[in-house]
Structure 1
Amino acid sequence: MLDHEPPTGAYKFPSSPIVAEDEPHPDRRERVENIRAMLEYCFPDENRYVEPPEADHTEIERVHDPEYVGWLETFCADGGGRIEDTATGCNGATADAARYAAGAAIAAAEAALDGSKTVPYALCRPSGHHAQPSCADGFCFYNNAAIAAEAAVAEGVDRTAIIDWDVHHGNGTQAAFYDRDDVLFVSAHNDHGSWHDEYHPQEGSLDEAGRDEGEGYNVNVPLPPGTGDRGYDRLFERIVDPIVSAYDPDLILVSSGQDAGPADPNARNLVTRDGFRNLGARLRTLAEKTADGQFALIQEGGYQTSHLSFATLGVFEGVLDRRIDLDHYGYDDPFGRFDEPTALVDEWLEEAVEYHGQYWDWDSVT
């Protein structure tokens, strides 16, 4: 997964004559290398690595069109490159990396279901939640969380909940399960809308709530820029906890993108290490309440490579009920320096509560 390398340019975009030196694409291998270093330093006794198998075509094609899978493999075999006018690109190693990333997500879901009470974590690269059934999108090629959920369904799991706290809308996961009720999808994200008419038509709006049997089971929660620790706690209190509790899943998968942090160049939110610690703790409690403790974390975004380590440490501190006293930093976040505008967050969350109330009885689930 480290060998996947998108093309350089002006940040995530093609080169520009006003930028003298190209820079690495934000989906850099250092992202996951830093997370691994954090895990080895902070949790040396608890930490165990398992090499995942590659996902095979049967597993991938439960989500993705065979024609698209064939196109991606050919495109990468020819050396890859930038996909038309998008910010997504790849090299010759990307198709293999994406198969291993999907395989890691499947293995994490299987580990969650095996009764061992571990905390399965798929350190995936490339990420997956933007990848749609028929196209790559948003640095993603195969939808790791969706493929893992389909693998669970194939093993007889009746209800799976996917919670996506990546700061960007999980449009590919939405597309995969939009007309189904056996997979609940809850996505909290900045209100960025569609960023490409062809490759990213979904907007992540409240009214993209599913269709047919899936109506009401696609729960989008747009968040205003500047949402921080308090806002995400309120998000769980008002929406995530009640809806997931009412759904009562057998398995919870988390699209765990830590790009809602205050230093991320690809986002505008203010969640600190402490806020991610709270998300991890809330996830653990919710899984114990609803899914017999069965949950798995699947890595998505996070593009400030140093803060990604602090934020992901927070998630693991929460799910493991541990606090790590770091030299020079203690329990703090060196990037957490802005106050959160709370009134707008409350206003938007209550709008989401009102909208989704047509599908969920808040009186019975709060």
Structure 2
Amino acid sequence: MTSERTLSVHWDELFLTHRMSNGTYEFPAREWLAIDEPHPERPERLLNIKSAIDRWLPERTEYRSVQPATEAQLTAVHDPAYLEEIRNASRRGGERVTASTEVTESAYRASAAAAGAAAAAATETLEDDDVVPYAMSRPPGHHAQPGMADGYCFINSVAVAAEHALDTGRADSVAIIDWDVHHGNGTQECFYDRDDVLVINLHNDFGAWGPNHPQTGDVDERGEGDGTGYNVNVPLPPGTGDGGYEYAYDRLIEPIVSAFDPDLLLASAGQDAGVADPGGRNLVTKDGYRSIAARTRALADDHADGSLAIVQEGGYQLSHLAFATLGVLEGALGVETEATDPFGVLEENEELAAEWIDTAAAACEDHWDLP
């Protein structure tokens, strides 16, 4: 392994074609609102990230073309009948499937391409640990369950990537760290009874979102059958801040991933815990994201032969998302650019965060040896 890693961006302009309409959608912890403004999950999210990469990391970056996930890759995770429903809805020109999530004419093609980008990123890092593969894709995927769309998500890209690595024999075990501020309920659902995929979710405690999102993300959702103990939920309070995430890595993530010793580490990288994001208010700065990714990189180097791939999930404040994601990429590459966080540091609530993290740790102590 080398400190001269390059960034391999799996990207296609098809990701920009999916645009949900204005109207009724939900911000967590708020009432249902009819909002006459662009939907928060919109193409400009990726355009701003791409601009940041092209400005601050051009000499380290190579762009990769994207092939959509195959039917076999998709049906390894999702019910065939469900996939056909989403395809047909796209062919009909689109329809709303939940209050916040709309199948558009291009939703299926963009989602299949996003899953293909994630699978290719996983394959690339398993074959070459001198690169940091990044699926700069949308729609996001971590809320998509095997048979249900949810939370702006239609196909679970990180789950497709994990399953592809296992099915092709490139990996015998995969760890997924999801630091999106919203619980990755779909990823949890995909692997809930499995012991070959460790799923760790750090998220705000929003609770269940209704029939389309029945999982709560609580600490007692620990997996079932063979998967008992391999689903780790770490609910966090607003204001957790950089220090709170550092403590979560100290207390839970590093010891659990180290003990699991995966062949592949996947980051479900949603930067909506950022200081300016409307979705969570967890107050993570660009420096905080650099630290999160650097510690994730170190785990991959120590326990997965350097195999780390990053899959884009949420993040909805267009300006800060670009800086936060740049921080993630800096941490994963082991570099630091001159870009500074324009939003600064707000007051954190590390003490409360530590109490919540200790509660999550107590729920895991019968399965994992924790400090």
Q: Smaller-chain TM-score range?
A: over 0.9
Match of 1:299 among 301, 312, 320: 312
Aligned residues of 2:285 and 2:345 also touching (Cα < 8 A): no
Tell me if structure 2 keeps the 8 A contact 1:117–1:294: no
Pick aligned residue for 1:357 from 338, 349, 365:
365
Aligned partner of 2:321: which letter? Answer: L
Task: Tell me the CA shift for residue 337 of structure 1.
Answer: 3.8
Match of 2:194 in 1: 180
Aligned pairs, how many?
352
AA at the equivalent of 2:203 = H
Q: Is the 8 A contact 1:167 1:188 kept in 2?
A: yes
* Alignment TM-score, normalising by the size of structure 1: 0.94
Equivalent position amino acid for 1:268 in 2:
R
Deviation at 1:68?
0.3
CA change 1:132–1:288 in 2 (3 A) is same
Q: How does 1:129-278 map to 2 (within 5 A)?
A: 129-156=142-169, 157-196=171-210, 198-278=211-291
Could you tell me how far 1:361 is from its partner in structure 2? Answer: 1.8
Q: Does 1:319 align with 2:327?
A: no
Alpha-carbon distance in structure 1 between the residues aligned to 2:53 and 2:350: 32
Q: Find the aligned partners of 1:257 and 1:217 in 2 and give their Cα distance.
A: 21
Shift of 1:213: 0.2
What residue in structure 2 maps to residue 8 of structure 1? 22
1:188–1:116: structure 2 CA closer, same or farther, 3 Å change rule?
closer
Q: Secondary structure at the match of 2:60?
A: coil
Q: Secondary structure of 1:280's partner? A: helix
Alignment deviations for residues 117-166 of structure 1 (CA, whole Å, 9 cap, x no partner): 20000011000000000010000000000000000011111110000000
Match of 2:134 among 108, 117, 121: 121
State the SS of the aligned residue for 1:322. Answer: coil
Contact 2:193 2:226 in 1 (8 A): yes
Where structure 2 has 5 or more consecutive residues not aligned to the other structure, the ranges are 1-14, 28-32
Structure with the higher strand share, 1 or 2:
2
**How far 1:116 moved relative to its partner?**
4.3
User: What is the root-mean-square deviation in Å for CA atoms of aligned residues?
Assistant: 1.5
Deviation at 1:81, TM superposition (A): 2.5
Q: Is 1:336 aligned with 2:310?
A: no
State the match for 1:83 in structure 2: 97
Q: Percent identity?
A: 51
Question: Which piece of structure 1 moves more, 86-95 or 61-70?
Answer: 86-95
Larger deviation, residues 114-123 vs 249-258 = 114-123
The alpha-carbon distance between structure 1 residues 334 and 11, as it changes in their structure 2 partners (threshold 3 A), is farther
Letter of the 2:363 partner, please give it: Y
Alpha-carbon separation, structure 2, partners of 1:299 and 1:62: 21
Higher RCO by CA contacts (8 Å cutoff, separation 6 or greater): 2
Is the partner of 2:246 in helix, strand or coil? helix
TM-score normalized by the length of structure 2: 0.92
Q: Secondary structure at the match of 1:45?
A: helix
5+ residue gaps in structure 1?
A: 327-331
Runs of 4+ in 1 over 3 A off after TM superposition: 10-13
Q: CA deviation at 1:265?
A: 1.1
| Counterpart in the other structure of 1:329 | none
